[in-house]
Amino acid sequence: MARKPFIAGNWKMNLTHLEGIKLVQETAYKLTKAETDKVDVAVIPAFTALRSIQTLIDGDRLPLSLGAQDVAIEDSGAFTGAVSAEMLAALDVRWVLAGHSERREIFGDTDADVNAKVKQILKYGMNPILCVGETLDQREAGETDTVLSHQVTKGLAGISHDDMARVVIAYEPVWAIGTGKTATPEDANTGCATIRATIAQLFNEDVGDAIIIQYGGSVKPGNVAELMAQPDIDGALVGGASLSADDFAALVAAS
Ligand code: PGA
What structural domains and CATH numbers belong to the chain? 11-31+38-254 (3.20.20.70)
Tell me whether strands 6-10 and 65-68 are parallel, antiparallel or unpaired. unpaired
Section 94-118 average pLDDT: 98
Q: What whole-number distance in Å separates Cα of residue 224 and Cα of residue 102?
A: 22
Give the pLDDT confidence score for residue 117 in this predicted structure: 98
Lowest mean pLDDT among 16-20, 27-31, 90-94, 174-178: 174-178
- Residue 238 CA: nearest ligand 1 atom is 3
Give the rounded percent of residues in the chain with a pLDDT score beyond 90: 96
Give the pLDDT confidence score for residue 204 in this predicted structure: 97
Q: Verify whether residue 74 is a known catalytic residue.
A: no
Section 214-224 average pLDDT: 96
Give the rounded percent of residues in the chain with a pLDDT score beyond 70: 100
Catalytically annotated residue among 100, 143, 150, 226: 100
Q: What's the pLDDT tens digit per position in 163-190?
A: 999 999 999 999 998 888 888 999 999 9
Could you tell me the distance, in angstroms and rounded to a whole number, from the CA of residue 216 to the centre of ligand 1? 6
97 lines ligand 1 (CB under 6 A): no
Give the pLDDT confidence score for residue 242 in this predicted structure: 98
> Are residues 46 and 15 in contact, defined by beta-carbon separation less than 8 angstroms?
yes
pLDDT at 4 over 80: yes
Q: What whole-number distance in Å separates Cα of residue 193 and Cα of residue 140?
A: 19
Could you tell me the distance, in angstroms and rounded to a whole number, from the CA of residue 76 to the centre of ligand 1? 30
Section 219-237 average pLDDT: 97
7 lines ligand 1 (CB under 6 A): no
Average pLDDT, the chain: 97
Query: 84 falls in which pLDDT band (50, 70, 90)?
Result: very high
Lowest mean pLDDT among 83-87, 127-131, 173-177: 173-177
SS3 234: coil
> Are residues 44 and 10 in contact, defined by beta-carbon separation less than 8 angstroms?
yes
Q: Verify whether residue 86 is a known catalytic residue.
A: no
172 lines ligand 1 (CB under 6 A): yes
pLDDT at 234 over 70: yes
pLDDT at 1 over 80: no
Give the pLDDT confidence score for residue 181 in this predicted structure: 82
Hey, whose CA ends up nearest to atom 9 of ligand 1? 239
Q: What whole-number distance in Å separates Cα of residue 9 and Cα of residue 20?
A: 12
The model's pTM is 0.97
- Residue 218 CA: nearest ligand 1 atom is 5
Closest CA to 131 of 143, 120, 115, 142: 115
Give the pLDDT confidence score for residue 183 in this predicted structure: 87
Section 143-152 average pLDDT: 98
Closest CA to 6 of 239, 238, 212: 212
pLDDT at 143 over 90: yes
pLDDT at 156 over 90: yes
237 lines ligand 1 (CB under 6 A): yes
